[in-house]
Amino acid sequence: MFALYGYDLPVTGLFDARTHAVVTAFQRHFRQARVDGVADASTITTLRDLIAALPAA
């Protein structure tokens, strides 16, 4: 979902250091209440809502 939103993150199926860095950056920007690099339910919900609000391609 991060790649769908525009983050340069290859889909590997692994939660590696690069994924952790992207999640942390996303949280710093969109969800400052808890920046821990964990793709928890709140992070995923925020990301899902942002993707849904994107204009149709």
Residues 31-56 pLDDT 10s: 999 999 999 999 999 999 999 999 98
% the chain with pLDDT above 70? 98
Q: Looking at residue 56, what is its pLDDT?
A: 83
Contacts 24+ apart (CB under 8 A), 26-31: 26/2
Q: Is the pLDDT of residue 57 over 90?
A: no
Nearest 5°: the CA angle 35, 49, 47 is 35
Average pLDDT, the chain: 94
Give the whole-angstrom CA distance, residue 33 versus residue 56: 30
Q: Which residue has the tokens 């690069």?
A: 18
Q: Looking at residue 29, what is its pLDDT?
A: 97
Structure tokens at 56: 């149709």
CA neighbours closer than 13 Å in the CB half-sphere of residue 50: 18
